[in-house]
Amino acid sequence: MKYRVIIFTLVLSAFCQQLYAQKNEFNPITTGVASLNIAPDARGGALGDLGVATDPDVNSQYWNPAKYAFTESKGGLAISYTPWLRKLVNDINLAYVAGYWKFGRNGNDPQALSATLRYFSLGSIQQTDDGGNVQNSVNPYEMAIDLAYSRKLTRSFSMAVALRFIYSDLGFDGSNDVKGAAAFAADIAAYQTLYPIVGRSECQWSWGFNISNIGTKLSYDGGAKSVFLPANLRLGTSFKFPVADYHTLSINLDLNKLLVPTAPRAEDYKDAEGNNDPEAFNAAKEEYNNMSAFKGIFKSFSDAPGGFKEEMREIQVSTGLEYSYNQQFFARVGYYYENKYKGNRQYVTFGAGFSLSVFTLDAAYVLATAQSSPLDQTLRFTLGFDMAGLKDLIGSKRGNMRRR
């Protein structure tokens, strides 16, 4: 059977927007389960897809789970929803649920447990036979469940580890031993926040890193062929300062690099006369296919065909500004940049948020600057709850009812 629409094309179209005439320079890194690198929440999405060093919130798991140790609330829960690639199709969606709870001794809460569930639906895909007749339809999806533990090591510094189970079902019917695939991964993260005095004002400076999706490779055919998970290094900083009474502004920067080796291309292997060398290419391809995920992480820093120049192209940059009024109203703007030869994701993001009592509501909007980008006009929504505050509110109402 054949698919009327090739699933991988739909997924990768979110990451590889345009093909350039200089085909030898267009060389994006490809991975399995690419949906793991889609920003799930509206706050991070409004800041140009960043969040490794911003103020902790309930959705910190994706950006940097070490931030949970610094949350002000004892617990939280959030639900996010993103209609994905709406310019291409109308039934691809990302749903995300995140939650955490802090605990400790003697009223101090230096530790936290957090968990998330990510579900990426690729909609409905029709299967056809060789004559183009529709046989049935399938609903491919990718999902991930993870659990993290974070702890303060000092008053200003924390670290975290996360474990993740990943499952990808691209709707194969099981023929030719092709089926859904599972993998396991881990994250290592750190976060530090300090309060320097600038002029007469107390400011906040934070930095952090998150090495995510360090794990096994993914195989849909029982191990005959496998693909790398989107292991990623995220490094960032944030500086927040007061503008006036009740008004604050934060400046944020994230740098990202996929820790995945570059797949070999035939045009990069030439013999002494300058002609394509199939033997050398096949040897490189076999080495790439057999490479372990751990070795691939180190290989990713020095394997680009274009040398150091191309390695620098693999770094993605996110910048964002967040304005806050009394920690109740938030306005955000950001910019995301990826080199045109590595995928060409380039867009401006906008968003706003409201925090009222025990819940928050955030929204984000993407305005692509690259031509014909399917990411243009992407919306994200996040609804969050302060579980500790909600518990206190319910307890207070019950107490009032008893007194009446």
Q: Which residue, among 224, 241, 301, has the nearest Cα to 29 in the 3D structure? A: 301
pLDDT tens digits, 259-272: 999 999 888 888 77
What are 183's two structure tokens?
Answer: 């993998």
Helix (H, G, I), strand (E, B) or coil at 402: helix
Whether the predicted pLDDT of 117 surpasses 70: yes
Degrees (nearest 5) of the Cα angle 249, 252, 258? 165
pLDDT at res. 98: 97
Strand-pair partners of 353: 330, 362
d(CA 7, CA 18) in angstroms, rounded, equals 18
User: 329-337 and 315-325: which strand pairing?
Assistant: antiparallel
pLDDT at res. 223: 67
Whether the predicted pLDDT of 139 surpasses 80: yes
Q: Are 49 and 334 in contact (CB under 8 A)?
A: yes
Percent of the chain's residues with pLDDT above 90: 61
Q: Cα–chain-centroid distance for residue 107? A: 33
d(CA 359, CA 59) in angstroms, rounded, equals 13
Amino acid identity for residue 73 in this structure: S
Lowest mean pLDDT among 9-13, 151-155, 237-241: 9-13
pLDDT at res. 88: 80
According to CATH, the topology of domain 2-262+300-403 is Porin (2.40.160)
Contacts of 345-350 with C-beta under 8 Å, sequence gap 24+, read 345/15, 345/17, 345/316, 345/370, 345/373, 345/375, 346/370, 346/373, 347/373, 347/375, 347/376, 348/48, 349/45, 349/46, 349/47, 349/48, 349/49, 349/320, 350/46
Whether the predicted pLDDT of 148 surpasses 80: yes
**pTM score, whole prediction:** 0.87
> Can you tell me the mean pLDDT for 155-181?
82
> Can you tell me the mean pLDDT for 371-392?
83
pLDDT class of 389 with cuts at 50, 70, 90: low
d(CA 389, CA 285) in angstroms, rounded, equals 55
pLDDT at res. 273: 78
Q: Are 357 and 348 in contact (CB under 8 A)?
A: no
pLDDT at res. 398: 54
pLDDT at res. 393: 55
